[in-house]
C-alpha cells in the first residue's frame, strides 16, 4: 500500500504538490488523474524517492522508498520511457538493471517476452518507436516482480493492440494482489482499466473515490426522449407537460428532447397521462471523460487560445447540473472540447438559469430531498500559495 500524508513539494516559488493525503491499496488499479502540470509526476517522483517532499511524507508498506530493503524488487516504475540509454540494446539495458538489483538474468528474457519485445531484444533501443520504448519501460518496471507498480502514462504512443495489452496487464497485476498506481490522460482507457481514482488539480486532492462514484458524483444524468417524427403537436404537448412537472427540457440537434430533473418512470407516466406516444425514452449514461471535465474545468492551467475564445477559460463554474439558457449544461457557455451547444431549452425563455439537484447519483438524483438545497458548487482549487513567498 502507498500512503501519502500532507505531501507537499515546492520548487522555489512554485508549489507543485500541496498537502496531498491518500492511500493506494493493493488488489485494484488506482488511476491518477489531473490536468497537465497538476503534480502527478511530481507525486510519483516523491513516492519513488527521486524528489524529497518539502513537507509531509509518502510511504510504501509503511516505509519511505529510501528505507525499503532492496527497493527495486519491491517497487517497479515506468516514469519516463525516453530516459533509456539509446546506444544499448534492450536486453543489455534490462541486464544492467537486473545486475544492479541482484535479479537473475533469466528474468530479463522472461519480461522481454511479457512485453512482446523478445524478437528485438538485441536491437539498439535508440531505434525503437515510442510504443516499443514504452514496452521496454514496462519490462524494466516488471523486472523485479514487485508488489507495487507505478506507471506514468503507460499507454503513451502505443497502438490499439498495445493499449489493450497494457489494460489487461494492469488488471492482471492488480488481480494478483499488487498495488497498481497509473496516471493517464486517456479517460476512456482509465474508465476501462481503473477501479479507483485519485484526481488532483493544481497539486491538491480533488477526488479519491471509485470510478462509478466519481462519475455519478460529477455528472448530470438526463433522459433522451423522442416523440413521433413530424408530429409537432405531440412534441409540444409533451414539452409543456414535462415543463409543468418541473423538468428542464432541451432540444437536441437530432430532434430528440433532453429531459433532466425527472426520473424515467415519471417521464413515461406523464407522457402516458397526456396521451403522447414516445418513440424513445432512454437514459443517458455519463462518461468518465464528462465527469472529469466537469470536475477539473476550473483547475486547468494550459488551454488553447481558441478554447479561451469559446469560453473554456471560465474558472468559477456553477455547480454540476447547472443548466444555462441556451441548453448548455456546462455553465457560462462552456462545453467540453468536441461538444457543440444544443438548442435553447423549452419553456424557459427569459427565465433565470435553474439548478437541478446535484451531487446525488442516478436518476432519483434529480429530486432534491424535501427542504434541502442543491449541493454547493464544487470549486476548483486555486494555485496553492507558498508561505515563503510572503516573507
Ligand atoms: N524540477 C522542477 N522544477 C521546477 N518546477 C517543476 C519541476 N518539476 C515539476 N515542476 C512544476 O511542477 C508542476 C507540476 O508538474 P508535474 O510534471 O508534476 O505535473 P503533471 O501533472 O505530471 O503534468 P503532465 O500531465 O503534463 O505530465 C508544474 O507546474 C511543473 O512546471
Whole-number Å distance, alpha carbon 237 to ligand 1 midpoint, is 55
Whole-number Å distance, alpha carbon 153 to ligand 1 midpoint, is 14
pLDDT tens digits, one per residue of 84-139: 666 778 899 899 999 988 899 999 999 999 998 888 888 887 778 888 888 999 99
Indicate whether residue 50 lines ligand 1 (CB < 6 A): no
Ligand 1 mutation pick, 4, 12, 16, 18, max ligand atoms within 8 A of CB? 16
Ligand 1 mutation pick, 8, 11, 202, 296, max ligand atoms within 8 A of CB? 11
Residue with the nearest Cα to atom 16 of ligand 1? 39
Indicate whether residue 124 lines ligand 1 (CB < 6 A): no
| Residue 45 alpha carbon, nearest atom of ligand 1 | 18
Indicate whether residue 39 lines ligand 1 (CB < 6 A): yes
**105-109, 343-347, 365-369: which range is least confident on average?**
365-369
* pLDDT of amino acid 287: 84
Indicate whether residue 80 lines ligand 1 (CB < 6 A): no
What the chain holds in terms of domains, given with CATH numbers, is: 2-216 (3.40.50.300), 219-289 (3.30.70.980)
Whole-number Å distance, alpha carbon 82 to ligand 1 midpoint, is 17
Indicate whether residue 301 lines ligand 1 (CB < 6 A): no
* pLDDT of amino acid 152: 93
Indicate whether residue 16 lines ligand 1 (CB < 6 A): yes
**In a 10 Å sphere around its CB, with 0-12 CB exposed, 13-18 middle and 19+ buried, how is residue 115 labelled?**
buried
How far is it, in rounded angstroms, from Cα 68 to Cα 59?
Answer: 9
* C-alpha cell of residue 139: 519490462
**119-128, 144-153, 281-290: which range is least confident on average?**
119-128
Indicate whether residue 42 lines ligand 1 (CB < 6 A): yes
pLDDT tens digits, one per residue of 245-275: 999 999 988 889 999 889 999 999 999 999 9
How does the average pLDDT of the chain come out, rounded? 79
| pLDDT at position 187 over 50 | yes
* pLDDT of amino acid 285: 77
pLDDT tens digits, one per residue of 287-312: 888 888 888 877 677 666 666 555 55
* pLDDT of amino acid 26: 97
Mean of pLDDT values over 137-163? 92
Contacts of range 229-232, beta carbons closer than 8 Å, 24 or more positions apart: 229/255, 229/279
The DSSP bridge pattern shows strands 204-210 and 222-226 to be: unpaired
Amino acid at each position: 500500500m502507498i500512503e501519502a500524508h500532507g505531501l507537499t513539494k515546492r520548487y522555489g516559488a512554485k508549489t507543485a504538490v500541496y498537502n496531498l493525503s491518500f492511500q493506494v491499496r493493493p488488489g485494484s488499479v488506482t488511476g491518477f488523474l489531473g490536468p497537465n502540470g497538476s503534480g502527478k509526476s511530481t507525486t510519483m517522483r516523491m513516492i519513488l524517492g527521486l524528489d524529497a517532499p518539502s513537507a509531509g511524507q509518502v510511504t510504501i508498506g509503511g516505509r519511505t522508498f529510501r528505507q525499503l530493503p532492496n527497493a527495486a524488487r519491491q517497487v517497479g516504475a515506468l516514469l519516463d520511457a525516453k530516459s533509456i540509454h539509446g546506444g544499448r540494446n534492450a536486453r543489455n539495458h534490462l541486464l544492467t538493471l537486473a545486475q544492479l538489483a541482484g535479479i537473475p538474468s533469466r528474468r530479463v528474457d522472461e519480461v522481454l517476452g511479457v512485453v512482446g519485445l523478445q524478437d528485438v531484444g538485441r536491437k539498439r533501443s535508440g531505434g525503437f518507436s515510442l510504443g516499443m520504448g514504452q514496452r521496454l519501460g514496462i519490462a524494466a518496471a516488471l523486472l523485479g516482480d514487485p508488489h507495487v507498480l507505478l506507471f506514468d502514462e503507460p499507454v503513451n504512443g502505443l497502438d490499439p493492440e498495445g493499449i489493450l495489452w497494457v489494460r489487461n496487464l494492469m488488471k492482471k497485476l492488480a488481480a494478483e494482489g499488487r498495488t497498481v498506481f497509473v496516471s493517464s490522460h486517456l479517460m476512456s482507457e482509465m474508465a476501462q482499466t481503473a477501479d479507483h481514482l485519485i484526481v488532483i488539480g493544481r497539486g491538491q486532492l480533488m477526488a479519491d473515490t471509485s470510478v462509478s462514484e466519481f462519475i455519478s458524483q460529477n455528472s448530470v444524468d438526463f433522459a433522451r426522449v423522442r416523440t413521433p417524427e413530424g408530429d409537432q403537436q405531440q412534441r409540444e404537448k409533451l414539452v409543456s407537460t414535462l415543463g409543468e412537472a418541473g423538468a428542464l427540457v432541451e432540444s437536441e440537434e437530432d430532434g430528440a428532447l433532453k429531459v433532466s430533473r425527472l426520473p424515467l418512470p415519471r417521464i413515461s407516466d406523464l407522457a402516458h397521462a397526456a396521451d403522447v406516444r414516445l418513440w424513445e425514452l432512454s437514459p443517458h449514461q455519463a462518461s468518465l471523460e464528462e465527469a472529469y471535465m466537469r470536475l477539473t474545468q476550473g483547475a486547468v492551467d494550459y488551454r488553447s487560445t481558441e478554447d479561451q475564445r469559446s469560453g473554456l477559460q471560465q474558472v468559477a463554474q456553477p455547480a454540476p447540473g447547472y443548466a444555462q439558457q441556451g441548453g448548455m449544461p456546462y455553465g457560462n457557455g462552456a462545453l467540453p472540447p468536441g461538444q457543440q451547444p444544443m438548442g435553447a431549452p423549452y419553456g424557459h425563455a427569459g427565465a433565470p438559469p435553474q439548478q437541478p439537484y446535484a451531487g446525488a447519483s442516478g436518476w432519483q438524483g434529480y429530486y432534491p430531498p424535501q427542504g434541502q438545497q442543491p449541493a454547493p458548487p464544487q470549486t476548483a482549487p486555486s494555485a496553492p500559495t507558498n508561505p515563503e513567498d510572503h516573507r
